[in-house]
Amino acid sequence: MSDKDNEELFVDDSHDESVAEETKSKPKKEKKPISDERKAQLLEQLKRGREKAKANREAKKASKDKQVKNEEPKQEMKEEPKREEKKENKNEYGQLLEVMQGMRSELSELKQMKLEKRKAKAAAKVKDTPPSAPTPATTKPKPVTVVEQKPVALPKKKIVARGKFDYSQYFQ
C-alpha cells in the first residue's frame, strides 16, 4: 500500500463539509450603533475611572514613603534604649533572683500548710466514725479447680510427591 492509499483510508471529508456549511449559513450579528450621548457618557466614565485609579496609586505610594520615613527614626532611637536596658537588666536580674527565692519559700510554706490540713482532716475523719460501725466482712476466695483437657489428635495431611496433591482428604 502506498501513502496515498493510507491517507484516503483515514480521511473523512463528509464531516468537514458539514461543519463548513453550518458556519457559512449563520450570519454574523451586527452591532447596535451607539448614540453620541452614550459614547460621551462612556468616555466620561472611563476618564473618571482612570483618574481615580491614578489617585489611589499615588496615595498608596505616599503612604509607603511615610512608613519608610517613620521607620528609620524609630530604629535609630531603639538602639540607644537597648544599651540602657542592658545596664538595667543586670540590676533587674538580681532583683528577679530575690523575687524567685521569695516565691520558692512561700511555695514551700504553702505546701507544708496543705500537708498539715490533710493530716488534720484525716484525724477528724477517724474521730467522727463511730466505733459501732460494722466493719466490712472479709470473704474467703473460693479455690480454683484446674480442669485438664485431653489433647485432640489432628489428622495428618497427606502429601503426595512431585507436586500432585489429593484434596479428597478435606471432603470426607
pTM of the entire structure? 0.26
Give the total number of structural domains in the chain. 1
CA distance 16 to 23: 11
Cell 532583683 found at: 95
The per-residue pLDDT for range 3-55, each reduced to its tens digit, is: 555 555 555 555 555 555 556 677 788 888 889 999 999 999 999 999 999 99
Q: Is residue 44 part of a domain?
A: yes
Specify whether the CB–CB gap between 160 and 166 falls below 8 A: yes
What's the domain range around 87? 38-126
Q: Within a domain: residue 138? A: no
Do the Cβ atoms of 168 and 158 come closer than 8 Å? no
Largest CA distance in the chain: 119
